[in-house]
Amino acid sequence: MNLKLFFALILWICIVGMTNAASPHGKELKIDCATCHQTENWTKIKEKGFNHNQTKFPLTGQHVAVSCKNCHSSLVFSDAKTECNSCHNDVHEGTVGKDCEQCHTTNTWIVSNIRQIHQNQGFTLLGAHATADCNRCHLSTQKLRFEKINSDCFSCHKSKYYATANPNHIQAGFDTGCNRCHNVQSPDWAGKGYNHNFFPLYGGHDIDCKSCHKTGYKGLSNECVSCHLTDYNNAKNPAHASANFSKDCKSCHSIKAWKPATFNHDKQYFPIYSGSHKGEWNNCNECHTNANNYADFTCTNCHEHSKSRMDSKHDDVRNYVYNSKNCYSCHPTGKAD
């Protein structure tokens, strides 16, 4: 018999015998022995044999270079667990759960996605929190423990709440919801970080708090006249008080500035910013000659020179009289027709 054929037959018999015998790797392993072992010597393992990436635990990162025996301490490969903490000690002592991959990768233990982790946990690192030392919030980080901490501002900043004197938060009765007034995206507590959106602070209102809050921070009216009654009473051109103007300052003035006033004369009364009267006047008193009553107005003060012409044009109009009220009754928009 050919010698090569003889050894091949013996090898085949051995393989059959090993197949029928109990495998030292357990019943779960269904692959051909020759995938990993060299046929001339079972103790020699092929360098490129079993493809671990076809299993439920692909080898990535540092796991690629780890010796098989570090994870497979016994020859029964199915005994090896896939959970990280089955091989790695939990240095966080259970404070962050068992899902190591939410912070770590197989490439390195160094955490590179800290901001994303905080965002996933419902506390995005914005403003001053983006550069704050972790230890200021996570007081036990030196032991690598990360217990759950409250995400409301007051739980970390209550000492600032109690210590603040300008304004005194306790005396003012401010609540402990810091984000009602402070902007979490701001790098500090004050300045542009202060949230005064319920009454925008721009234009003439970009001033020191005490200019308005003279007696406290509660019960202050947001009506303009509550602060600007003196301005209303002292206004001369036109005289607001004697003319009985509305005290709703916003009906004419912008919160950004007192001037120019934006009273909508065209829509509410008579077009003076559009139509034939646009650019034909300079001051209100040209038409409203009675400074004590802006309900009075005159047309003939400007159109007096055309009385004779108007008389002749209206000689066929019944009850025609050349006066301001009649002019307005027929020409409410200032048009000739």
Arithmetic mean of pLDDT, 242-266: 82
pLDDT at 326 over 80: yes
What span, in angstroms and rounded, lies between the C-alpha atoms of 293 and 244? Answer: 7
Q: Across all residues in the chain, what is the average pLDDT?
A: 82
Summarize pLDDT for 51-81 with one digit per residue, the tens. Answer: 888 888 999 999 988 888 888 888 888 888 8
Backbone φ and ψ for 37, nearest 5 degrees, come out as: -95, 150
Q: Using an 8 Å Cβ cutoff, are 251 and 263 in contact?
A: yes
Give per-residue burial for 279-312: e unless 16+ CB within 10 Å, then b: eeeeebeebbeeeeebeebbbeeeeeeeeeeeee
Report pLDDT for 61.
92
* 163: confidence class by pLDDT, cuts 50, 70, 90: very high
pLDDT at 259 over 80: no
What span, in angstroms and rounded, lies between the C-alpha atoms of 184 and 125? Answer: 9
Report pLDDT for 3.
54
Predicted TM-score of the model (pTM): 0.47
Q: Is 41 helix (H, G, I), strand (E, B) or coil?
A: strand
Report pLDDT for 87.
87
Report pLDDT for 7.
46
Q: 176 versus 293: which is more confidently predicted? A: 176
- Residue 173 makes CB contacts below 8 A (sequence gap 6+) with 217, 218
Measuring CA to CA, how many Å separate 53 from each of 58, 64, 195, 203, 271? 4, 10, 54, 66, 82
H or E element in which residue 6 lies: helix 3-20
Summarize pLDDT for 284-315 with one digit per residue, the tens. Answer: 888 988 877 788 899 888 887 778 888 888 88
Report pLDDT for 233.
93
Please name the residue that has the structure tokens 């692959």.
31
Q: Using an 8 Å Cβ cutoff, are 222 and 199 in contact?
A: yes
* 271: confidence class by pLDDT, cuts 50, 70, 90: very high
Q: Which amino acid type is present at position 46?
A: K
**Percent of the chain scoring above 90 in pLDDT:** 7
Q: Which amino acid type is present at position 280?
A: E
Summarize pLDDT for 4-58 with one digit per residue, the tens. Answer: 554 444 455 555 555 545 678 888 888 888 888 888 888 888 877 788 888 889 9
Arithmetic mean of pLDDT, 174-194: 75
Rg (CA), the chain: 44
* Nearest C-alpha neighbor of 227 from the set 256, 247, 206: 247
What span, in angstroms and rounded, lies between the C-alpha atoms of 212 and 228? Answer: 11
Arithmetic mean of pLDDT, 210-227: 83
Please name the residue that has the structure tokens 């050919």.
2
Question: Sign of dihedral through CA atoms 327, 328, 332, 334?
Answer: positive
Number of Cα atoms under 13 Å in the Cβ half of residue 269: 11
| Longest Cα–Cα distance in the chain | 146
* 167: confidence class by pLDDT, cuts 50, 70, 90: confident
Report pLDDT for 159.
92
